[in-house]
Amino acid sequence: MIQNCQDALAINRHFHGADLFITITANPNWPDVTWELLPGQTASDCPDLVVCVFHAKVAQLLRDLNEHGVMGRTVARVWTIEFQKRGLPHMHLIVFLHSAHKL
């Protein structure tokens, strides 16, 4: 973990500071989750479903940011996944924008 932190700080120095700090939290009421539940089940009964949907959403968010450039052209990113005590995953993402799009 120390190594990752130092890598992130090296990226930060090389790209002259980070620009955006994005936090995305899983939503147990996503239709993608609720449609697949059996009658009477709740999202907390199916952590496998919540995890897979969250992973897909995160992959799409990274594609939107890095390939489609919805926030401007990006040059680097650093992210980690964390879990709340009760289980819902969330992602902290730091985005480094191209010098032409810096804030």
Q: Which residues bind other proteins (CB under 8 A)?
A: 1-2, 4-5, 7-12, 17-27, 30-31, 47-48, 50-52, 55, 57, 60-61, 64, 70-71, 76-89, 92, 94, 103
- Tokens 């496998």 belong to 48
From 30, 25, 60, select the one nearest 43 (Cα to Cα): 30
Residue with Cβ nearer other proteins (1 or 100):
1
d(CA 65, CA 67): 6
- Tokens 């992959």 belong to 59
- Residue partners of 49: CB distance under 8 A and separation at least 6: 33, 36, 37, 43
The CB-of-74 to other proteins minimum distance in angstroms stands at 9
The CB-of-65 to other proteins minimum distance in angstroms stands at 9
The CB-of-8 to other proteins minimum distance in angstroms stands at 5
d(CA 46, CA 42): 7
Residue with Cβ nearer other proteins (36 or 64):
64
The CB-of-39 to other proteins minimum distance in angstroms stands at 21
